[in-house]
Structure 1
Amino acid sequence: MNKSPARALVPAVAALLLGALIPGTAAAATPPSVWVESGYDHVFSSSPVPARPARAVDLFAARNETQAAQIAVRSGGGLSGLQIAAGDLAGPGGATIPASRITVNREYNHPHVAKVVQEGPNDGHQEPPDGGTAYYDALVENKPYDLAAGTTQPYYYSVAVPAGQAAGTYTGRATVQSSEGAVDVPVSVTVYDAELPPANRSTFRQNNWFTSAGWDYSWTDASIPGQYGVRPYDDERWWTVIKNFAADHAKHRNNVIFADFQGLAIPDTTLDAATGQYTFQWGYFDRFVQIFQDAGALQYIYTPHLIEGDGNKLEALVEDGRGGVHKDFLSLGEPGDTEEEKAAKRSIAAAYLDKVFGALKAHLDTKCLDAGPVCAPGRRWSDVFYMSAVDEPSGGNLPTQTVTSPWLYEQYRNHFPQGRTNEAHTGVAPGIDDALGTVTPKLDADYDRNAGYYQSLRLAGKDLWLYYCNDPQDRHVNRFISYPVADSRLTPWMVAATGGNGFLHWGWNIWSDDSAGHPAYNTFDDWQNGDRYLVRPNVGVDHDQPTEADGNREHETKYELYDSIRGEALLAGVQDFELLHQLAATKPVLARALIASLITSTTEFSTSGVATDHRHKQILDALTSGGPDAVFPFADDFSAGSDGQWRHTKGSWSVTADGGYVQSDPLSDWQTVSAVAGRAYGDVAASVDVRITGVNPVGGDSNWAGLTIHSQNPTDVQTGYLVALRDTGEVFVYRSGTVLATAQVPGYTPGRTVPLRVTTRGSTLEVSAGTTPLITLDDQGYPVGNVGLATGDASARFDNVRLDPGTDAAEGAAVTASTSYEADGWGLAAATDGRRGLPDGSLGWSSLGNMTTDHGEWVAVDLGATRRIGRVDLHPRADGGNAGMGFPVDFTVQVSTDNATWTTVADRKDYPRPDASAQSFAFAPTDVRYVKVTGTRLRTDPHGNYHMQLAEIETAGGDLAVNRPVSASSTVEGSGWGRGAATDGVLNSALGYSMGWTSAESPTADADEWITVDLQSANRISRVRLTPRTDGGNTGLGFPVDFTVQVSTDNATWTTVAARNGFARPGAAGQDFTFAPTWARYVKVAATRLSADQYGDHYLQLGEIGVG
C-alpha cells in the first residue's frame, strides 16, 4: 500500500459507576485525585478531574474475554513512587480471578504526535484539552514513577477472564501507591455464562501485516534488525522476537498471519542452474508458521502480494550463483512489448509459478492446524492459505494489473483449486474482483459511493473485509493516535454493519524509516501519527530516562513488545464482533439494533468509549437472558412537532406545523435518508404516505422518494432494499446496484400522495400502494436491518409512518366477508392495511348487502397462523363528520383456531356510536388464528343506508403497553429520556436514543413519584414487568426501593396488586410482578423511596414498562 506518515469528538456520555474512594492502609492526608475512565476513551496529561468522576472499575466480560478500564491519577503537587498494585478478585463459591490474569500498565505520553486534522466538518481528530501534541498510547511497565505536578497519568487496568471461569461477580481492589499515600479503587468484574471461541477458531479474520522476512525485502525487512539488533534466521534471538510476536497475535486475536512463503524459503532452497530444478526444504517457513500455531494465533496464512512495479513484475526466487536463491523479478511484459513478447515472458513466469506453487501445495497439504494422525477437512495449511497478486490496483497501472492479477490467480488455482485469494483495493476493479474470493475495499468515501457494488459481490458469495491505512483522514474510522480511541473499537463493528467478516491493516510494526538506509524509528518520542505501528519494540530501554548512549537500558536486552491503547481497543472490537455473531444466531434483530445505536453511517457514529462499553454489556445480557428476539413496533404521525426519533446525515429534514415530515431540498443527492433511531426489523409491515413535492430539474421526474428496508447502516440506500416512488408513478425495488422490480401506481398524477406499503415475511417482499398490490418478489439478500425514509434528487413530504413487526397479527392478513364494497377507498384489504381509515385511498371495509333494511353482516380475518392474543381492536371509520358511522349496534367478536368452531369473546348490545378512536375488546389470552366480527343490528351511513363499516381490525397480544400513552408526576425529556420511551419497546438503554423514563431529581431518597400507562381500553392482565435502565455499569440505577404497582379501570379508583419495600438494585432483566387476573385500563408504578443514580442523585427511573 502507499504509506506515508502524516474529529471533533462527540462528548463522552456519563461515567460508568459511582463508588467511594477507600483510603488504603497508608493513606496520606492529601492523597492524589484518582478516578476511573473507560478503557476506550482518551485520557490526556492535561485532562482535569471530571466534575462527577467514576471511582470504581466495573467490568463485564464473557469467558475467554479481556476487558479494561483506565485508572487516572492527578495531583496538585508532584508525586514520586507512583504505581498501582492489583490483587486477586474473589467470586462465587470461592472462585477467583487471580492477579496473574490482571495486567496494569502505565500509559506512555508521546510528546510528538502528528495530529491528523482536516479543516471543516469532516475533521475526525480529538484535541487534547491543552491543545498540545502529547497523547498517551504505549502501555509500558507499571513500576515506580515520578509524576509532575498538575499532570494526569492514566494506568491501563486489564482483566483477561480465563476460558471456563465460573459465572458471577468478582470483586477486589486496585491500590494506587505513591509518596502521598495509598488510595484503593474498588474493582468488580461480572463474568457472564457466555464464552468466546479461541482466537484460532474465530469468525472474525484480523490481518495486521507485520514485518519479519521478505515482503519488500528492504524497508520493512529492516524493522526487526534495526530495533532489536538481530538478524534472521540463524540468530535464535530473532526467533525469540517472532515467538513474542505470535504470543501478542494470540492475545489480540490477530488470527491471520502475514508470512512471505518465498522470503522464508530463501535460506534453505537450492536451485540447480543447469536443470532449473528447485529443491524446497521449507524448514524456516515451517518453523515460522508453527510458532504462531503453537501460540494459538494461527487460523489463516496470508502471503504478501507477488506482483510489484506497474503490475508487470513478478517476485521470484532466482539463482544466486552459489547454488542457492535470492529474490528478483520476472517480467510479465514491458510497456513497449508486443502482445507476443508479453505472452512469452508470462510463459516463463508461469513455468516458474508451476514449480513453486506445485511444491508449496504439496508441502502445505502435509501440514495441519491440529495435532493428530488425521487432518480434518478444511484444516490443512493449504486450506487456509491466502494468495495476493497486487496491492491497491489503481490509476495508470490498473489496465496492466487487471490483466496480470487474474493471470496469477489462474496459475495459483492450477494447484490450489479452492485456494483463498484477497487484495486490498482503493477503488472498484471489476476485472480483478471477479477473480477474488475475498474483496477488501478501503473504508473511505470511495467505498461509500460504491457500497452497492461491494455488497453485490458479497451477496454473490465473496467474503467482504474492510481496511484503512494512512487514509482516510476524515470522519471515517481510523486508528490514528489523534483519533478517538473508540474508532479502533468500532472498526470491527463497521465490518459487522456491512455484513463483512474481516479487517486488514498494512502496518503492525513498521519501525524503520522508508528513507535511504532505513534507519530505526524512535517509536516513543519521534513524530508519529499511529499509521505505521500498533505495537512498539521493548528492547529493555527505560523510556522515562534520556536516550543518549546506553544509559537508558535496563539490566538486560529484551526482545519483547509494548502494546498500545489502540491495540487494546481493536481487540475489544474484535471480541464484540464475536459476541454479536453469537447473538445474531438467535436474536438477529436485536444484534442489528445494537449496531445501529452506535453507527448511523460510515462517517456518523459514536466516539464514546463508554457507549461501546454499554453496548458490550447489552450484548452479554441478551446472550444470557434467553427469550425471543426484540421487536420494535413504531408509529410516528409527527404530531409531537419534532423528529427526535429519527437520524439523518444529509438533506433538509423538518417537521411542519401541520404534522408532516419533509425533506425540502430537491438537489440533495440520492443517499438522503432519515432512519428510525436505534431500532431494527426482520419481518415488518412498513407504511408511509409519501408525496413528491419537487424534483431536481437535471434529473426530472425520474427522481424519487420512499422507504429503505433492512439497510445495514441506518442511513444507507445501497444496502438493504430501496422501495421508492418516482414522480412518474413508477415504483421500484432497488438492491445494491440492481433494480429488482418495477410497477406503476394506477392513475398516478405528479404531486399525488401515495400510501406506500412494504411487507417483508422471510424472503418475500411485497409492495403496494394502499390496498393495490404492485410488486411481489423473493430475495434472501437482506433478512434484517434498519428502516428509513429516503429521497433521491427530490423533495418530499412523509406522513403517518407505521412499522409493525408482527405485534398486530392482523396487519396485512387475509380478509373475507359476507359482502364487500370494493371501490372509493373501501375494500376487504383495507380492513387490515394498517391505515386505520386514513385518507388517500383507504377508508376500511364496508358491507354491500341489503341497504334499505337492517340486517346481519360479518367480516373475518385469517391471521395466517395461530397466535396468542388477548384483545381485538375495532377502528370505526374516521373520515371527518362520518366518524363512527357504520359501526354495528349489536355485534359479537369471535375467535377460532380452525375457522369452524368459534368462541365468543365479546357480545355487545345497543353499542353507542363511537368516535374515531379504537374500540377495544379484551379477553383472557388464547390461541387464535381466525377473528370474526358479526353485526346483527346495523347503523346507517350518511345516506340512510344500512352498512357495517370498520376502518381497521387489529389484534393485540404479548405486551399490551407498547406505544401506549404515559403520564407521570414529573419527567425529564431529552437525551433519550422521556415518557414515551417508557413504552417504546426498546429494552437496551442508549443515551441519545431511548433510555426510558426518569422523574425529575429529588433532593432526598424519600419522595413521591409515579408513572402511569394508559392501555386505552380495559384488558384482563396478570403481570407488570418493570425493566431497569440497562446502560452498562448504570444498569438498575434509579429503580425504586419502596413502591407499589396499582391498576385501575377509570384512572380514579386504584387497586394495589404489588407492594415492595427495600427492593434491591436489579440487573438488566425485567422484574415481573404477577397477580390474579384482573381488568384494568391503567397501570401505575408509585414510588415512595428512590434509589440513587451513578452520581448519587435520586430519581425514579425505568427503562420500560410492560403489561401482560
Structure 2
Amino acid sequence: MKRLMTSMPLILLLGLLVPLSAPTVAVAAGPAVWIQNAADRAYYTSPQPQDAATAVSLHSARNEHEAAQVLVRSASAQSAVSLQAGPLTGPGGAQLLASQITVTRVEQHSGVRVIGGDSETLPAGSPPGVYTDALIENSPIDIPAHQTRPYWYSVHVPADQPVGVYRGQVTVKSSLGDVSVPVAVTVYDVTIPPTNRSSFKMNNWFGSAGWDYTGTEDSITYQYGVQKFDPNWWKVMENFAKNHAKHRNNVIYADFQALLIANTTIAADGTYNFGWQTFDRFVQLFIDQGALQYISTPHLLEPPPGDNTVQLPKLLEMLKNDGTGKVRRELVPVNTAESTAYLHTVFAALKAHLDQKGWSDRFYMAALDEPVNTPQLTQANWFFNIYKQHFSGSSYKTVEAHNHALFGSEHSELEGLTTSATPETGLYDFSTAQYQDLRIRGKELWLYTAIVPQDRYMNRFMSYHLDKTRLLPWLIWKIGGVGYLHWGWSYWERSQTMDGGGSNGGDHWIVRPNKPALDVYDSIRSEAQRDGLEDYELLNLLKASKPVAAAAIANSLITNTTEYTRSGADVVDRHRQLLQQLSTQRPDLRFPYADSFGAGGDQSWVHTVGNWSVSNGSYVQTDATNWNTVSALKGRAYGDVVMTFDAKIDAVNSGGGNTNWIGAVVRGMNATDVDTGYLVAVRNNGTVFLYRSGKELASAAVPGYVPNAVTRMKIVAQGNRIKVYVKDHPAPLLDVTDTAFRTGHAALVTGSVAGRFDNVVLNPEVNRADGKVVTATNSITDWGWSPYGLTDGRNGTTAASGGFSTEALPQASKQSVTVDLGAPGPVSRVDLWPRDDGANAGYGFPEDFTIQTSPDNSTWTTQVTRTGFANPGGAVQSFAFPSATARYVRVEATKHRVEGPGGNTYRMQFAELQAYGGNLAAGRPATATSSYEGDGWSERNVTDGSWMSILQHSMGWSSNTDTGIQHDEAVTVDLGARTTVNKVALTPRTDDLLGAFFPSSFVIETSPDGAAWTVRRTVTGQARPDSIEPIPYTFGVADDVRYVRVRSAGGLRPEGSEFRMQFAELEVSGP
C-alpha cells in the first residue's frame, strides 16, 4: 500500500495527483496522452499506466531547467503527430515565454550494448538492445497503432522570473484529434548560480583540437564535413559552448598544446615563439557563452604507438620543428634533457600567458590518464615536479582520473604533487577511508566513470536506469566531493551515431551530432546529468542554512555507492523537497529518536551486512564474521547530537578476539560503512576508541569494564567537539576536536562480534541540557555524584550515577548550579528530577529556589520562583514559563532541604536537569486510536521532527480504521511532564497528495493525566491545506498539561471511499 487509498476508484485517484486548481483535461477523440517524469526512461513500448498523470506539474528554482515527458499512444495508427507549446501565465500576468519552452521527441536506438549487472528491465514486447536516448526535432511524424512516442517538454526559468505558479497548456496535435494537456510550473524563491559560478566542477571531455589527435580531433571534421579552424569548425565550437553553458559543463576541455600549433614557430636557434591567438579565441568563445569556469588540459604523457597493454612507460607530447619553422606534435622519451628542458620552456610560457589573461587560477593540468604501475607514477612525479616550479598557490591545480591506486605510502610523492583525487567510483568504494582522509587533508575529491564501474554502481550507460545518471552528483555531494569527470561527451568514432551509444553502450557519448545545424542533439541522459548538477547546487544552498535537512533528503535516496533508489519519481520528489525546504522559514529538521526495542521490528533501520533483528527487548546482530556490520537510522541525519545506548558483546570472532568491538557511528556519509563519520566503539578488552577515516583519533581504558557485560555509552557531538562517556564515569574518557564531519547519519555497528543494543536515544538538541557542561558554586565528585551527573541523561539515582550534589551546607546559604546549553536558543520549560533512591527520594531538593536564564552568563532573568516547596518524592518536577532565548540555565537555592530522612545535613541535590523549548512534542511518544504502521507511516513519526512526507521513510501518522464511513480517530502526544501550552501546529502530508486526509472538523484537547480531558479548541470547516506550512491553532494558556490530543469530531475528510486522518507532524508549544 503506497498511498493509503488503494480502494479508491481510479478516476478519483487521478484527480488527486494534480493541483486542485488545474484546468480540466480536454476530452477529445484523440490519442491517449499521459505524463511521466523526466528521471525515468520511457519507451516506444511503454503502456499507459492505470494511475498515469494527465497534467504536467513542474517545480523549479530560478535559473533552472525542469522537464516532463508527454507520452502519446493509440490503438489506431495516427499521423502528423507533434506537440505545440504556448507561453505560461503566472502572478500579475507575468509569463514564462514560449522561447523558454522547448519540445523535442525522444528517439529510440537499436543495437545498444547492454551493460550487465543492474540494467533496466525493458517493458513487455520490447526488442533486445533497444533504448531511448536522443532528443530530436519535434516535427510531425506517423505513429503506428499500439506504439508510444515520448516527447520531452522542458521549461527554462530565467534567473529574474517572478515567484509563483504559471499555468498554460501544451497541445498534442494528431490526425486522431488534438488533446490539450494542462501545465503548471511552480517557481520558488530560490536561484541557482549560473554555470560559470557553480559550486560543482563538471568535466565532460569533448572533441575539438588535439587530445588523442585522431578519434577526438578527426570526429569533428568527419561528422560535420568541416576542416579544423575553418569558419564552420568555429561554428561547431560555438554551439558546443552554448550547450556546455546550458548543461552546466563548466570545466572546458582545451588542449593548449594542440591550440598552439597553428600559431607557433621555432627560430633557427631553437627559440620557441608561442602563438596564443587560437588558444585565446577558443577559451574566449566558452567564456562569452557563459560556460567556462575552469580550463582542463588533456594529459601530456601518452602511451607509445601500438601499446595495447597500457603497461609501458609513457612518452611526452612535445611541439617540435616540422622542418619549415612551424611545429608539429611528436612523442619523445620522458625525463631526458630534451623533454625536461621543453617542459620548463612551455610551462613558463603557459604561466606567463595565463597570468596576462587572468586565467591562471582556472587552469587544471593533467600528467597521464589512468596510471597503472609504479614506472608510470614515477613519470608523473617528474612531470609535476617541473610544473610546480612554474605554478604555485591557487594557480597550481591538477586533475588525474585513475582506476588503480594512485596514492598511499608507496606513492607519497605523487600525493603531495596533486591537488585533487579523481578515483573511479568502485576504487573510491574500495578505499573510502583513504579518499576521505585525502579530502579532509585538503584535496578536492572528484569521482570518475567510464566503462567502469558497472554492476550496481551508478553510471550513465543507456541500458541503466536513467536516474543513475542524475544521482551521480547527489552521490558526490554526499561524500563531500566537488567534481565529476567523464571522458565521453562526444567520442563519435562511428558514422551512424543514432544507432547504439558507441561501442560501449553510452560510454562514448552523451550527445550526438546534429550535422545540418552544426550543433548537437541532446539526450535524456545529458538532461538527467544537468538535472543532477542543478540538484547539487540546491543541496549546497540548503546545506548553508539547513544542513540536517539537506543530508536527510540525500540519505533518503542514497544509502551508499551501490544501494540507492532506482526510481526517478523518487528523485523528482526529493528535488521538490529541496525547493520546499529552501523556500520555507521553518528551522532545520531535527530527528529525535528513542527505542527500547520492546516490540516490533527494525523498519526504522537500514543495513546490508549482518543478521539484525529485534529480539527479547534488544536490537541483536548475530554475525561475528564481519568487522564493518552497520545498521543506520533510515532517511535521517544529525549534526549536533547526543547519542546514548547500551551495548553488549555476546561473542567475538577468533580473529582479533577481545580486540573486536561494538559501538556506533555519528555524522556518517554512507549508511553502511565506518569510514565516513566518527566511529565510537569499545573493545571487549575494555578499550574505548574514536576512529575517523582510517585514523584512530583517541583511545582510553574503561575503568571497571567487564567483558561481555552491558556497557552504557554516550557520544556528545557538538560543533567540532566529540566527547565520549562510558559506563557511569562522570568525565568523558575521550574528548576530541575535529572538523572533518559536521552532519550525517547515525548508526549502530559491530566489528567482528555478535552483540546487542538497547535503550538507544538520539537527542538532537531537544533536551538542550543533555550532555552539556555544568558549573556550580559548590559540588562534590564522589559516591556517584558529580556535576556531569546533572546532565548525563540518567533520571534516576544509583550508586554509580547519583546526579548532582553540593557539599554539606548551612540551611540558608545561597548556592547555584548552571548549565551551559552551548548556544542561544528557546527555553520554556525546565525539568528537575529529584533523587529517587528509596527512602531518600526527594531529599536534597531545595525548599526555596529560583530558575533563571541568561543569553551570556552575565545578565540573568528569573523565570520561576518557589518558596516552601514540598518534598517532591521521586517524581519529576516540571517548571514552565514564557519562552526565553537563553544559552544558560541556572537553579539558585537559598533554603535547602536535609539530604535524607531524620538527617541534619543540608545539601542541594538533583538526579537530572533537562531544558526544553520550541516544539515540546518533538520526539515524544504518540498513541492513536488506530495507526497504519508501514511505508513511512507510524505513530512515532508524527513527532519525529520531520514534516517532509517521504514514502518508506517518514510520512507522519495515518489512522488505519478504514470502515468506508465517517467515524472518529484521535492521536495523543505525551509531553513527558506537566507543562504550560497554548498552541498546537499541524502539518499536512506534504507529498504529491498535499493535504490529503487532513480533517475538516476536530477538537484539540489537553489532560494532566491522560484520563480527564479539556477541550481547548474546536475547529470546523477546515479547508484542505494547499501549503506545506504548519497550520497553527492557538488557545488560552493551559497549565498543568502533560497530554495533548487531536480528535476528529465527525470531520474525517474522505478521499474517494476512504476515511482517514493524517498528519505529517504534530507540534506543541507554550506562550
> What amino acid sits opposite 1:282 in the alignment?
W
State how far apart, in whole Å, the 1-side matches of 2:862 and 2:74 are: 77
The answer on whether the counterparts of 2:880 and 2:979 sit within 8 Å (CA) in structure 1 is yes
Q: Residue 22 of structure 1: CA displacement?
A: 7.0
State how far apart, in whole Å, the 1-side matches of 2:673 and 2:745 are: 9
Q: Residue 220 of structure 1: CA displacement?
A: 2.4
> What amino acid sits opposite 1:1107 in the alignment?
V
- Find the counterpart in structure 2 of residue 1082 from structure 1: 1043
> What amino acid sits opposite 1:776 in the alignment?
D
The answer on whether the counterparts of 2:964 and 2:1057 sit within 8 Å (CA) in structure 1 is no
- Find the counterpart in structure 2 of residue 650 from structure 1: 609
Q: How does 1:297-308 map to 2 (within 5 A)?
A: 297-308=291-302
State how far apart, in whole Å, the 1-side matches of 2:1060 and 2:183 are: 25
Q: 1:818 to 1:667 in 2, by over 3 A?
A: same
Aligned partner of residue 292 in structure 1, secondary structure: helix
State how far apart, in whole Å, the 2-side matches of 1:112 and 1:867 are: 62
Q: Residue 528 of structure 1: CA displacement?
A: 5.5
> What amino acid sits opposite 2:622 in the alignment?
S
State how far apart, in whole Å, the 2-side matches of 1:56 and 1:449 are: 44
- Find the counterpart in structure 2 of residue 62 from structure 1: 61
The answer on whether the counterparts of 2:783 and 2:799 sit within 8 Å (CA) in structure 1 is no
- Find the counterpart in structure 2 of residue 172 from structure 1: 168
**1:612 maps to which of 571, 574, 590:** 571
Does 2:443 correspond to 1:448? no
- Find the counterpart in structure 2 of residue 322 from structure 1: 324
Q: Residue 815 of structure 1: CA displacement?
A: 4.3
Q: How does 1:540-551 map to 2 (within 5 A)?
A: none
- Find the counterpart in structure 1 of residue 511 from structure 2: 535
State how far apart, in whole Å, the 2-side matches of 1:714 and 1:60 are: 29
State how far apart, in whole Å, the 1-side matches of 2:734 and 2:19 are: 58
Q: 1:1021 to 1:884 in 2, by over 3 A?
A: farther
The answer on whether the counterparts of 1:676 and 1:787 sit within 8 Å (CA) in structure 2 is yes
State how far apart, in whole Å, the 2-side matches of 1:835 and 1:482 are: 55
State how far apart, in whole Å, the 1-side matches of 2:774 and 2:397 are: 53
> What amino acid sits opposite 1:331 in the alignment?
P
- Find the counterpart in structure 2 of residue 831 from structure 1: 790
Q: 1:983 to 1:927 in 2, by over 3 A?
A: same
> For each residue in 1:12-50, what CA deviation from the matched residue of structure 2 results, as whole angstroms up to 9, or x when unmatched?
x9999236997877x543x33322221101223333222
Give aligned pairs, total. Answer: 1028
State how far apart, in whole Å, the 1-side matches of 2:68 and 2:138 are: 15
Q: Residue 953 of structure 1: CA displacement?
A: 2.3
- Find the counterpart in structure 2 of residue 262 from structure 1: 257
**2:389 maps to which of 414, 436, 439:** 414
Q: 1:793 to 1:382 in 2, by over 3 A?
A: same
- Find the counterpart in structure 2 of residue 744 from structure 1: 701
- Find the counterpart in structure 2 of residue 953 from structure 1: 913
Q: Residue 302 of structure 1: CA displacement?
A: 0.6
**1:998 maps to which of 958, 973, 981:** 958
- Find the counterpart in structure 2 of residue 1037 from structure 1: 996
Does 2:400 correspond to 1:423? yes
Q: Residue 1083 of structure 1: CA displacement?
A: 2.6
Aligned partner of residue 152 in structure 2, secondary structure: strand
Q: 1:163 to 1:558 in 2, by over 3 A?
A: same
Higher mean Cα deviation, 357-366 or 758-767? Answer: 357-366
> For each residue in 1:797-821, what CA deviation from the matched residue of structure 2 results, as whole angstroms up to 9, or x when unmatched?
1121122222212212344679877
Aligned partner of residue 977 in structure 1, secondary structure: coil
The answer on whether the counterparts of 2:840 and 2:899 sit within 8 Å (CA) in structure 1 is no
- Find the counterpart in structure 2 of residue 246 from structure 1: 241
- Find the counterpart in structure 2 of residue 339 from structure 1: none
> What amino acid sits opposite 1:279 in the alignment?
N
> What amino acid sits opposite 1:1083 in the alignment?
V
- Find the counterpart in structure 2 of residue 467 from structure 1: 448
Q: Residue 971 of structure 1: CA displacement?
A: 2.5
Q: How does 1:633-644 map to 2 (within 5 A)?
A: 633-644=592-603
Q: How does 1:595-994 map to 2 (within 5 A)?
A: 595-657=554-616, 659-670=617-628, 672-769=629-726, 770=728, 771-815=730-774, 822=781, 825-837=784-796, 841-842=800-801, 844-845=803-804, 860-864=817-821, 867-875=825-833, 882=838, 885-886=841-842, 891=847, 894-897=850-853, 903-905=863-865, 913=873, 918-927=876-885, 929-932=888-891, 950-994=910-954
Does 2:360 correspond to 1:382? yes
State how far apart, in whole Å, the 1-side matches of 2:218 and 2:946 are: 54
The answer on whether the counterparts of 2:842 and 2:871 sit within 8 Å (CA) in structure 1 is no
> What amino acid sits opposite 1:538 in the alignment?
N
Aligned partner of residue 358 in structure 1, secondary structure: helix
Q: Residue 872 of structure 1: CA displacement?
A: 2.5
- Find the counterpart in structure 1 of residue 464 from structure 2: 483
Q: 1:617 to 1:1001 in 2, by over 3 A?
A: farther
- Find the counterpart in structure 2 of residue 373 from structure 1: none
Q: Residue 682 of structure 1: CA displacement?
A: 1.9
The answer on whether the counterparts of 1:809 and 1:863 sit within 8 Å (CA) in structure 2 is no
The answer on whether the counterparts of 1:23 and 1:182 sit within 8 Å (CA) in structure 2 is no
Q: 1:822 to 1:414 in 2, by over 3 A?
A: closer
Aligned partner of residue 178 in structure 2, secondary structure: strand
Q: Residue 231 of structure 1: CA displacement?
A: 2.3
Q: Residue 487 of structure 1: CA displacement?
A: 0.9
The answer on whether the counterparts of 1:810 and 1:861 sit within 8 Å (CA) in structure 2 is no
- Find the counterpart in structure 2 of residue 98 from structure 1: 97
* 5+ residue gaps, structure 1: 1-12, 333-342, 368-379, 514-518, 540-556
- Find the counterpart in structure 2 of residue 275 from structure 1: 269
Q: Residue 382 of structure 1: CA displacement?
A: 2.2
The answer on whether the counterparts of 1:753 and 1:840 sit within 8 Å (CA) in structure 2 is no
Aligned partner of residue 356 in structure 2, secondary structure: coil
State how far apart, in whole Å, the 2-side matches of 1:1069 and 1:1081 are: 26
Aligned partner of residue 981 in structure 1, secondary structure: helix
> What amino acid sits opposite 1:400 in the alignment?
P
C-alpha RMSD of the superposition: 3.1
> For each residue in 1:1020-1044, what CA deviation from the matched residue of structure 2 results, as whole angstroms up to 9, or x when unmatched?
112221122223x433333334444
> What amino acid sits opposite 2:166 in the alignment?
Y
Q: 1:846 to 1:1062 in 2, by over 3 A?
A: closer
Aligned partner of residue 262 in structure 1, secondary structure: helix
> What amino acid sits opposite 2:325 in the alignment?
G
Does 2:354 correspond to 1:364? yes
Q: How does 1:1092-1107 map to 2 (within 5 A)?
A: 1099-1107=1060-1068
Q: How does 1:461-610 map to 2 (within 5 A)?
A: 461-513=442-494, 521-523=497-499, 529-539=505-515, 557-610=516-569
> For each residue in 1:638-689, what CA deviation from the matched residue of structure 2 results, as whole angstroms up to 9, or x when unmatched?
22332222222212211112x211221111132x211122222222222221
> For each residue in 1:296-340, what CA deviation from the matched residue of structure 2 results, as whole angstroms up to 9, or x when unmatched?
1011111110001234300111222233222110101xxxxxxxx
State how far apart, in whole Å, the 1-side matches of 2:157 and 2:799 are: 59
State how far apart, in whole Å, the 2-side matches of 1:1042 and 1:803 are: 35
> What amino acid sits opposite 1:89 in the alignment?
L
- Find the counterpart in structure 1 of residue 980 from structure 2: 1020
Q: Residue 1074 of structure 1: CA displacement?
A: 2.4
State how far apart, in whole Å, the 2-side matches of 1:920 and 1:72 are: 61
Higher mean Cα deviation, 78-87 or 64-73? Answer: 78-87
> For each residue in 1:320-379, what CA deviation from the matched residue of structure 2 results, as whole angstroms up to 9, or x when unmatched?
2233222110101xxxxxxxxxx5x2x210211222222222222332xxxxxxxxxxxx
The answer on whether the counterparts of 2:474 and 2:554 sit within 8 Å (CA) in structure 1 is yes
Q: Residue 164 of structure 1: CA displacement?
A: 0.4
Aligned partner of residue 467 in structure 1, secondary structure: strand
Aligned partner of residue 224 in structure 1, secondary structure: helix
Structure 1 length normalisation: TM-score? 0.87
Q: Residue 755 of structure 1: CA displacement?
A: 1.4
The answer on whether the counterparts of 2:995 and 2:1024 sit within 8 Å (CA) in structure 1 is no
State how far apart, in whole Å, the 2-side matches of 1:1043 and 1:1003 are: 19
Aligned partner of residue 284 in structure 1, secondary structure: helix
Q: Residue 114 of structure 1: CA displacement?
A: 1.9
State how far apart, in whole Å, the 1-side matches of 2:177 and 2:504 are: 36
The answer on whether the counterparts of 1:300 and 1:384 sit within 8 Å (CA) in structure 2 is yes
The answer on whether the counterparts of 1:828 and 1:844 sit within 8 Å (CA) in structure 2 is yes
Structure 2 length normalisation: TM-score? 0.90
